Amino acid sequence: MAKKYDFLFKLLLIGDSGVGKTCLIIRFAEDNFNSTYISTIGIDFKVKTVEIEGKKVKLQVWDTAGQERFKTITTAYYRGAMGIILVYDITDEKSFENIQNWMKSIKENASAGVSRMLLGNKCDIEAKRKVASDVGEKLAKDHGIRFFETSAKSSINVEESFAALARDILMKASKKAGPSGREVRLTSTAPEKKTSKCLLL
């Protein structure tokens, strides 16, 4: 029987309640969106297999509750994550300011080599924007991580961002695996086009 996948990566989404973590995961895994807001209780996950560099990569995406009362439960899941996606809402300044606290949580509770990525979600509602693209980009740059503005609603940069993070993890994994033909091919093909912004109207 054919192997269903070559790699299994565990990803985790964190960020304030209401920024759109669950919607981003549902858009990514099921290509759906429902505006009815049901705040996540504790923790949940969805899986999706993507193809990267000719490899089948199964992504197990963990969804955490942003509410403070679930902090103890959710931080227990940081350790097992290979990638952590920090999400804020571009229309909610507080959610952006809180990114520094979420970064601190990662430092305290995640594995040392974890790959991180910053997403500014809800970029479909440009009229209500409170956090400029440049400001989000600068924060990501200061931490040396990727940045995308996304919309779970309009399906902007969702696949792209998840795939970029998965590719980063794949590169790291193949480097660690030691010298091999595959490693050479993987490390030499990194295209890295410029991070696309959510440019609307």
Ligand X SMILES: Nc1nc2c(ncn2[C@@H]2O[C@H](COP(=O)(O)OP(=O)(O)OP(=O)(O)O)[C@@H](O)[C@H]2O)c(=O)[nH]1
Residues within window 84-143 making contact with ligand X, judged by CB under 6 A: 121-122, 124-125
Distance linking the first and last C-alpha atoms of the chain: 49
Q: Taking the complex as a whole, how short is the minimal distance between the CB of residue 64 and Mg ion, in angstroms?
A: 8
The interface with ligand X within residues 53-72 (CB under 6 A) comprises 65-67
Contact 87, 131 (CB under 8 A): no
Among 2, 3, 4, 36, binds ligand NAG (CB under 6 A): 36
Q: Among residues 64 and 174, whose Cβ is nearest to Mg ion?
A: 64
Site for Mg ion in 20-79 (CB under 5 A): 21-22, 40
Q: Is 70 in the site for ligand NAG (CB under 6 A)?
A: no
In 58-157, alpha helices (H)? 71-75, 93-97, 99-109, 133-143
Residues 76-95 that bind ligand NAG (CB under 6 A): 76
Q: What number of helices (H) and strands (E) belong to the chain?
A: 7, 6
152 by Cβ neighbours in 10 Å (0-12 / 13-18 / 19+) ranks as buried
Instruction: Give min distance, CB of 190 to ligand X, in A.
Output: 28
Task: Give the residues lining the site for ligand NAG (CB under 6 A).
Answer: 34, 36, 75-76, 108-109
